[in-house]
């Protein structure tokens, strides 16, 4: 049987420098091509990146582009760096076809399993802004410090003649159903540097009913570094999921920003966060998030911002 060939590109996301940020493979799927879940999974395993997206050609501008997001072991309903990276590629393609001029902004839509994502691209700054799907849920169960010490024993060790400050427990928060993070605040960047990958992911028992079906659970560590002059909160983070560390995790960053906004903000307030991740891996990533709180309660909007740079292009056989 003759092979079908599909074009692909790779981009580094949340950076403007090649070989920094978080790499992403984007496989372009024309209308005439049908890929099975198994074929998509096999391709994602072949790339062996944290995520691979399958960009299905848009039927119309109104319908938007359908995007399937895969990790090496399954499909995700939403993920941040695939959204920004795939959106970046879509906008470059649109500009190549004559849309937009220098200094203008253009818009597009991506359809992922978690919902429709509106995107905006600033041609001058090359920044993609995504209105991400969100259904933020703070679980009743918390993650005890004892579990943290088991997984990260270096955090319990004395340093500089004193024991580091650890909280009794840590919140568990889902940004959408199926995507959950333990949010672990640390004292300073020295402690952040002690974090290591682990043999397996964190053990969590008792996620709230309706939110516990095949949920991805990662550990998101963060340190507060003050504020910018405009009030933007500055954070340094690391995301660990078992043996894997992720250089940039837009979904976890959105999860954290949403949690901090809900617990520390006021109704109707808009809060901004500048998050740096991936430093310890040599893949520095810059993630910007804006959270708009509703006038009554809850979250009205979450905006994820970042840029990307193309690294490779080629063709693959299926």
- Encode the chain (318 residues) as per-residue pLDDT tens digits: 568 899 999 999 999 999 999 999 999 999 888 899 999 999 999 999 999 999 998 766 666 789 999 999 999 888 899 999 999 999 988 887 777 655 688 998 899 988 889 999 999 899 999 998 899 999 999 999 999 999 999 888 867 667 778 999 999 999 988 889 999 999 999 999 999 999 888 888 888 988 877 678 899 999 999 999 999 999 999 999 889 899 999 999 999 999 999 999 999 999 999 999 999 999 999 999 999 999 999 999 999 999 999 999 999 999
Q: Bin 278: left if φ > 0, else alpha if -120 < ψ < 50, else beta.
A: left
Fold of 5-133+308-317: Diaminopimelate Epimerase; Chain A, domain 1 (3.10.310)
The SS3 of residue 161 is: coil
Q: Which residues pair with 70 in a beta bridge?
A: 52, 75
Taking Cα atoms as reference points, which of 103, 72, 66, 71 lies closest to residue 86?
A: 66
Taking Cα atoms as reference points, which of 81, 115, 11, 16 lies closest to residue 305?
A: 81
Which one-letter DSSP state was computed for residue 278? -
The SS3 of residue 100 is: coil
Going from N- to C-terminal start, the domains of the chain cover 5-133+308-317, 137-297
Contact 108, 119 (CB under 8 A): yes
Contact 119, 130 (CB under 8 A): yes
Contact 230, 271 (CB under 8 A): no
Write the CA distances from 29 to 67, 97, 218, 233, integer angstroms.
10, 18, 30, 39
Q: Which CATH number fits domain 137-297: 3.10.20.740, 3.10.310.10, 3.40.605.10, 3.40.50.2000?
A: 3.10.310.10
């Amino acid at each position: 049987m003759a092979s079908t060939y599909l074009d692909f590109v790779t981009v580094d996301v949340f950076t403007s420098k090649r070989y920094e940020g978080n790499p992403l493979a984007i496989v372009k799927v024309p209308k005439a091509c049908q890929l099975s879940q198994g074929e998509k999974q096999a391709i994602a395993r072949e790339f062996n990146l944290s995520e691979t997206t399958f960009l299905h050609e848009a039927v119309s501008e109104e319908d938007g582009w359908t995007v399937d997001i895969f990790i090496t072991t399954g499909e995700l309903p939403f993920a941040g760096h695939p959204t920004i990276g795939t959106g970046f590629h879509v906008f470059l393609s649109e500009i190549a076809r004559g849309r937009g001029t220098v200094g203008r902004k253009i818009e597009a839509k991506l359809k992922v399993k978690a919902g429709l994502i509106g995107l905006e691209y600033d041609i001058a700054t090359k920044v993609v802004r995504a209105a991400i799907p969100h259904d933020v849920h703070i679980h009743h169960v918390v993650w005890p410090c004892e579990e943290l010490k088991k997984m990260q024993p270096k955090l319990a060790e004395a340093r500089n003649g004193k024991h580091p400050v650890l909280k009794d427990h840590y919140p568990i928060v889902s940004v959408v159903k199926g995507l959950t993070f333990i949010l672990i605040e640390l004292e300073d960047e020295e402690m952040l540097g002690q974090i290591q990958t682990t043999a397996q992911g964190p053990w969590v028992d008792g996620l709230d009913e309706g939110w516990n079906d095949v949920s991805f659970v990662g550990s998101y560590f963060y340190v507060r570094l003050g504020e910018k002059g405009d009030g933007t909160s500055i954070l340094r983070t690391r995301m660990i999921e078992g043996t894997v560390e992720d250089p940039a995790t837009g979904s976890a960053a959105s999860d954290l920003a949403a949690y901090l906004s809900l617990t520390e903000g006021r109704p109707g307030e808009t809060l901004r966060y500048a998050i740096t991740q991936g430093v310890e891996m040599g893949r520095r990533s810059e993630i910007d998030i804006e959270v708009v709180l509703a006038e009554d309660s809850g979250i009205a909007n979450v905006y994820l911002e970042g840029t990307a740079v193309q690294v490779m292009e080629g063709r693959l056989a299926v």
